[in-house]
A and B are shown apart, each in its own frame.
Chain A
Amino acid sequence: MVKKIKATLDRRVVINKILEKRGEALVVTGLGSSCYDVGAAGDHAKNFYLWGGMGAAAMVGLGLALAQPKRQVIVITGDGEMLMGLGALATIGTQGPRNLAIVVIDNELYSETGMQPTHTSRGVDLAGMAKAAQFPRTGTIFTEAQLKTWVPKLYSPAGSTFVAVKVNNTRYPMAIRLRDGAHIKNRFREALLGNAAFD
């Protein structure tokens, strides 16, 4: 159970603060607001945006992290999306890729479907679940000061990392227009692999 503190962080401010330090990191988003927020922070060829496939984001991150062990992989998704694929925490926890960080932007709501509460609003502790699944670094962030100490950890390959960032319920417009999946995939692979993307 996560202690009840009123969430004040703004989701786009949080994602901007995380992504401004991205360097060579590879980014995978979950569908919905986290996809739009990452796009709004600045489109990037090494972003893989999921516009569908709810529950997939963390596992896409695992496959990518295992294939690219020298690159840091950051998954940015929502609480509803993570809740749909909780088994992934167990699978990732047992694989233990050092270069994978999962950031859940947790507004405790299904924003896309009418702001219904998710289980995190009822006390379900995602970071606690990740810890129980053997992620060596886990935490729940409520403040800018906490975020500041966590951002460097997201980019240091010292072990699988999971953070839930509690944010307020502000909704933003879809800033990103790019949504053709084949294009997003091919662009990502070409940026990462160069001509080998076409082998």
Chain B
Amino acid sequence: MKPQKNPATWPHDIYEVFKEVGIRQVAYVPDAGHTQLINSCHADREMKVISLTSEEEGVAMLAGTWLGGQRGVMLLQSSGVGNCINLLSIMNECRFPLLMIVTMRGEWGEFNPWQLAMGQGTPPALQHAGVVVQRVDHAEEVREHVFAAAQLTFNTSRPVALLISQRIIGFKDWSK
């Protein structure tokens, strides 16, 4: 990663929004961009934090979370979006809320060509699966975007994905 202004404050902004909107279950497949946020959630005794083997598990799990009267969120990277597609059909047919915070790869300054297919395919794939796609490109706007996405999904019972630009996360330095 290129050095960021240390420490990055946007992951903590997301955590604070999670607290504000009452997130109780946090499902994730690890991503470097979400490291700090995952650690904050693990340290919070009011949150159940669930490490998944595949992102589709998170879609199904968060249906159960909502059935049981709690709010949850899934943290994933764009590479895992394709794994969710079939089970997103549940969210649409049943009108479940689903909050996905997606850290992007395969766009701003990407070095790994294998990341491009799913990274570039993420917005249309989600839209075709019936997910409302929103995007944030600047660190200082992350907080309001996460809050707005949470309001949208939980108040309208529609799946919402917030894409966090690779520009915010920084990119791996591929120079020798």
Contacts and interface: CB of A to CB of B under 8 A. Distances in A.
A9 interface: no
A51 B95 CA distance: 14
B61 A63 contact: yes
The size class of the interface chain B forms with chain A is 20 to 34
B50 interface: yes
Interface stretch (A13-21, A35-43, A164-172, A179-187): A179-187
A37 to B, nearest CB: 20
Query: Could you tell me the dominant secondary structure of chain A's interface residues?
Result: helix
Interface in B55-100: 56-70, 72, 86-87, 89-90, 93-96
Contacts of A85: 56-57, 60
A63 B87 contact: no
B64 A67 contact: yes
B21 interface: no
Contacts of A87: 52-54, 57
A28 to B, nearest CB: 7
Interface string A42-82: 00000010111111111111111111100000000000000
B155 to A, nearest CB: 10
Given A181-B93, A182-B94, A197 B69 contact: yes
Nearest to A63: B64
Nearest to A184: B94
Interface residues of A, number: 39
A101 to B, nearest CB: 14
Contact of A182 (B25, B54, B89, B93): B93
B138 interface: no
B130 to A, nearest CB: 13
A177 B127 CA distance: 30
Interface of A: 26, 28, 48, 50-68, 85, 87-88, 90-91, 94-95, 181-182, 184-185, 188-189, 192-193, 196-197
